[in-house]
Amino acid sequence: MARRSGDCMRCLVIFAVVSALLVCGPALYWKFNKGFVGSSTRRNSMCPPCVCDCPPPVSLLGIAPGLANLSGTDCGGDDLELKQEMEKQFVDLLTEELKLREAVADEHSRHMNVTLGEAKRAASQYQKEAEKCNAATEICESARERAEALLIKEWKITSLWEKRARQSGWEGE
**Predicted confidence pLDDT, tens digits, the chain (173 residues):** 566 777 888 888 898 988 888 888 887 777 777 765 554 445 555 666 777 777 767 666 666 665 555 555 555 567 787 777 677 677 787 888 999 999 999 999 999 999 999 999 999 999 999 999 999 999 999 999 999 999 999 999 999 999 999 899 888 76
Instruction: State whether the Cα torsion 39-40-46-50 is positive or negative.
Output: positive
Total domains in the chain come to: 1
Query: Do the domain assignments include residue 52?
Result: no
- Does residue 79 belong to any structural domain of this protein? no
> Which sign does the torsion angle of CA 123, 128, 134, 136 carry?
negative
Query: Is residue 146 a part of any domain in this protein?
Result: yes
Enumerate residues 6+ apart whose C-beta is below 8 A from 166. 172
Looking at the domain assignment, is residue 159 inside a domain? Answer: yes
Identify the domain containing residue 129 by its residue range.
94-173
pLDDT of residue 63: 65
DSSP letters spanning 12-77: HHHHHHHHHHHHHHHHHHHHHHHHHS-HHHHHHHSPPPP---PPPPPPHHHH-GGGGG--SSSTTT
- 3-class secondary structure, 144: helix
Contact 83, 76 (CB under 8 A): yes
Instruction: Give the distance, in angstroms, between the CA of residue 61 and the centroid of all CA atoms in the same chain.
Output: 45
CB half-sphere exposure, 93, CA atoms < 13 A: 7
pLDDT of residue 115: 95
Q: Do residues 85 and 77 lie in contact, with contact meaning Cβ atoms separated by under 8 Å?
A: no
- Considering the domain boundaries, does residue 148 fall inside one? yes
Residue 118 lies in a domain: yes
- Whether 161 is in a domain gets the answer yes
Is residue 157 within 8 Å of 151, Cβ to Cβ? no
Whether 72 is in a domain gets the answer no
